[in-house]
Amino acid sequence: MGAKTDLELLRAFEPVLMYTKGELFFPSDIESYLQCCSLWLDLPGGKEREVVPAGELTAERLAGADAEWPGQHQHLRFVQESSLRAEARRFRRVSHPVIPKSGRLAAVGVFGRVLDVLMKFSLLIRGAVPGGLAAAAATRYRDRLDTGGATYYGRVVREGGYIALQYWFFYAMNDWRSIYGGVNDHEADWEKVTVYLVETPEGGYRPAWVGASSHEYLGDDLRRSWDDPELHRDGDHPVVFVGAGSHSHQMLPGDYLIQVDPAALRGLVRAWRRLTTRFLPATSPIVRHGIGVPFVDYARGDGTRVGPGGDREWDAVVIDDETPWVRGFRGLWGRDTRDWFDGERAPSGPRYEREGTIRRSWADPLWWVGLQKVAPTPDAARAQLVAHIGELDERISEADADIVRDRDALRRLSSAEISLNRHAHAEPLAKEYRSKISDAEEALAARYRERSTLADERDVHRAELESGAPLAHAPQEHLHSPHLPYASGEQRPTRFLHVWAALSTPLLIVALCVTIVALNGATMLMALAGTVLLFATFDAFARRKLMSFLTGLAIFVVVIGVVGAIIAAFIASWQITLLVPLALVVVSLLFVNVRDLLRR
């Protein structure tokens, strides 16, 4: 299909983006952005050199950067050092809507706030954007880039029965940390929404899935079915909610707590999740999703609407693998801070990762949201199931042939063993044959079991085909841990909670330091544990989670008590320690046997 048809498809299903009130940056035209940028080369020893000054860079010049400076890492710079302070001062002279940053601290416990302090300290040794950069970028964007509209760069990929419509959005700045208390700041930001179409029997197209970039997430939880009742739509246009400053995407409006699920603690987190689900069903799902850290994505959707029928309309630009600036520039689209966490470094363009390799979501849009395994339509799924039944038929036929062959071989061995067993001098050989017979019997039985399992599976599939039911998951069945807001954005934490959230971490650190200095030995350890417990209890009370905290504390005490009692018992007398559980097992077995006897 030609570019015009691709453009028509992109236009027909382009998304609506809903921003939070106070958002400073909207999807921009890269040509205007490049006019404001200078181009830099990375040099050995952490140095850099400007090779194209601001005002001279174009998309054509950028497309030839790799050829002009082969083998050298390159990056752009949006805010120039010469104007940074003046532009930052101009931003601060204008009032802007503010979301209280203490609200994010109130969303997590005191230990999450300690992590927040560590993250702030890490910025002192990591590469971070200069102070005032976000404010200067906002001024620069407002004065030089913002035309009152919005631009997306659309790409159409036909793969695996789907038509993937990729909508790429470019932002001049990610100001999540400076303005909204988030994780990071960085110049430039590329985000995307992908609408996955399938062909209809009439030859048209209909949306089947929607995927939207959200930080580093990928896989099944990143996509929503077009039939999902929770998916917001405006006709054929999906409605996506954009995080303030971070520009990450969410499918539901609200405040999203960033959570981690470290591998070392994954078993403990899952056990706690099962426990709270069983004994505290009213607990918020966000508590059972992972370990909360005090960084919030404010995707409230109460601000500017971009897209059809919105405050800003889309200007569409079609791109593909052969678009010169997409293919020819592997560098970073903003300032390179050399942050080893990458959080404060600018991203690369749509096609590349920061290290210059091709981005997987560009090369394989289906993999990005876990769609490679999903047939595009129920009819396609039925065809795949019919093919699978054919494979089962072949395997069953092979098993039948193997069973006949192995059974004949087993009977030959048995006949030979009977003959050998009648002669005393052949007893050693007969014994060897009996061992072979035993092994052959086990192998034949295993083949029978495999054949039975295959036939049973085939019968299930045939019955499913005969039922005529669509072979497709329910709209939300593929979701494992969907991203859900912990708050709607309308809640107002009490002033007391705001004050406590702001003061608790420094107070805890001071209390721990005083304890360490004033005490020593076992007394110090007990005092440290008591201090932490006191702060955690008061924090749970302030956040109205005292019952959940006390339940967890009680479970912890019981587990520690049981483990301690077992260890103490082993130290006192390991024989008695072993006899007690054995006695419990004997009593249990006796009870079960007597009960069964009485039931006869």
Q: Which domain holds residue 429?
A: 378-467
Q: Is the pLDDT of residue 320 over 50?
A: yes
Instruction: Tell whether 157 and 88 lie within a shared domain.
Output: yes
pLDDT given for residue 277 in this prediction: 59
Beta carbons of 359 and 350 less than 8 angstroms apart: yes
Euclidean distance between CA atoms 33 and 570, whole angstroms: 71
The tally of CA atoms less than 13 A away on the side-chain side of residue 224 is 21
Q: Rounded to the nearest 5°, which phi and psi values hold at 543?
A: -95, 10
pLDDT given for residue 600 in this prediction: 61
Beta carbons of 505 and 114 less than 8 angstroms apart: yes
| HEC per residue, 371-425 | CCCCCCCHHHHHHHHHHHHHHHHHHHHHHHHHHHHHHHHHHHHHHHHHHHHCCHH
Q: Is the pLDDT of residue 282 over 60?
A: no
How many residues in total does the chain contain? Answer: 600
**If you search the block for the tokens 């494992």, which residue do you land on?**
480
Q: Is the pLDDT of residue 284 over 60?
A: no
Nearest to 92 by CA among 178, 19, 172: 178
Nearest to 61 by CA among 104, 20, 31: 31
Euclidean distance between CA atoms 111 and 494, whole angstroms: 20
In-domain check, residue 213: yes
- Long-range Cβ contact pairs of 119-123 (< 8 A, separation 24 or more): 119/183, 119/293, 122/341, 123/344
Beta carbons of 179 and 245 less than 8 angstroms apart: yes
Q: For residue 262, what is the DSSP state?
A: -
pLDDT-derived band of residue 588, with 50, 70 and 90 as boundaries? Answer: confident
C-alpha dist (Å) from residue 383 to 37, 51, 164, 371, 461:
53, 57, 22, 17, 12
Instruction: Tell whether 433 and 323 lie within a shared domain.
Output: no
Q: Is the pLDDT of residue 441 over 70?
A: yes
Q: Is the pLDDT of residue 561 over 80?
A: yes
Amino acid at 522: A
What's the mean per-residue pLDDT of the chain?
Answer: 90
- Across residues 40-68, what is the average pLDDT? 95
| Residue where a domain stops, chosen among 317, 348, 368 | 368
462-497 residues labelled b (16+ CB within 10 A) or e (exposed) = eeeeeeeeebbeeeeebbebbbbbbbebeeebeeeb
Instruction: Tell whether 290 and 145 lie within a shared domain.
Output: yes
* CATH code (residue 417): 1.10.287
Instruction: Tell whether 441 and 549 lie within a shared domain.
Output: no
Give the pairing type, strands 16-18 and 237-242: parallel
Euclidean distance between CA atoms 443 and 415, whole angstroms: 18
C-alpha dist (Å) from residue 229 to 21, 232, 251, 496:
26, 8, 11, 38
pLDDT-derived band of residue 549, with 50, 70 and 90 as boundaries? Answer: confident
CA-based angle 242:244:245, to the nearest 5?
115
**If you search the block for the tokens 């005032």, which residue do you land on?**
132
Highest mean pLDDT among 113-127, 174-188, 279-293, 442-456: 442-456
Burial class of residue 181 (count of CB atoms within 10 Å of its CB; 0-12, 13-18, 19+): buried
Q: Is the pLDDT of residue 383 over 90?
A: yes
Give the pairing type, strands 223-225 and 205-212: antiparallel
| Residue where a domain stops, chosen among 336, 368, 400 | 368
Nearest to 150 by CA among 349, 319, 350, 315: 315
Q: Please, which residues have CB within 8 angstroms of residue 323's CB and are 6 or more apart in sequence?
A: none
pLDDT given for residue 285 in this prediction: 47
Bridge partner residues of 158 (DSSP): 163
Instruction: Tell whether 349 and 395 lie within a shared domain.
Output: no
Structure confidence by residue, pLDDT tens digits, 330-368: 999 999 999 988 889 999 999 999 999 999 999 999 999
pLDDT given for residue 288 in this prediction: 45
Structural domains in the chain (count): 3
**Element holding 64 (H helix, E strand):** none
Structure confidence by residue, pLDDT tens digits, 159-217: 999 999 999 999 999 999 999 988 899 999 999 999 999 999 988 999 999 999 998 88
Beta carbons of 350 and 153 less than 8 angstroms apart: yes
Lowest mean pLDDT among 20-29, 43-52, 292-301, 491-500: 491-500
In-domain check, residue 154: yes
Instruction: Tell whether 421 and 562 lie within a shared domain.
Output: no
C-alpha dist (Å) from residue 436 to 426, 432, 439, 442:
15, 6, 5, 10
pLDDT-derived band of residue 551, with 50, 70 and 90 as boundaries? Answer: confident
Q: Is the pLDDT of residue 239 over 90?
A: yes
Q: For residue 303, what is the DSSP state?
A: S
Instruction: Tell whether 185 and 128 lie within a shared domain.
Output: yes
In-domain check, residue 473: no
In-domain check, residue 70: yes
Residue 1 or residue 5, greater confidence? 5
| Residue where a domain stops, chosen among 326, 349, 368 | 368
| HEC per residue, 467-515 | HCCCCCCCCCCCCCCCCCCCECCCCCCCHHHHHHHHHHHHHHHHHHHHH
Nearest to 484 by CA among 275, 241, 239, 145: 241
Instruction: Tell whether 337 and 454 lie within a shared domain.
Output: no
Six-digit token string for 364:
């394989």
Lowest mean pLDDT among 152-166, 209-223, 247-261: 247-261
In-domain check, residue 598: no
- Across residues 297-322, what is the average pLDDT? 97
Instruction: Tell whether 364 and 317 lie within a shared domain.
Output: yes
Q: For residue 129, what is the DSSP state?
A: P
Beta carbons of 261 and 290 less than 8 angstroms apart: yes
pLDDT given for residue 3 in this prediction: 45
In-domain check, residue 502: yes
Structure confidence by residue, pLDDT tens digits, 573-582: 877 777 878 8
- For the chain, percent of residues with pLDDT exceeding 90: 66
Euclidean distance between CA atoms 162 and 6, whole angstroms: 14
Nearest to 42 by CA among 256, 345, 268, 443: 345
Instruction: Tell whether 285 and 420 lie within a shared domain.
Output: no
Euclidean distance between CA atoms 10 and 287, whole angstroms: 39
Instruction: Tell whether 224 and 128 lie within a shared domain.
Output: yes
Bridge partner residues of 223 (DSSP): 211
Euclidean distance between CA atoms 453 and 154, whole angstroms: 48
Instruction: Tell whether 325 and 386 lie within a shared domain.
Output: no
Residue 533 or residue 246, greater confidence? 246
In-domain check, residue 18: yes
Residue 301 or residue 487, greater confidence? 301
User: How many other CB atoms sit within 10 Å of the CB of residue 416?
Assistant: 16
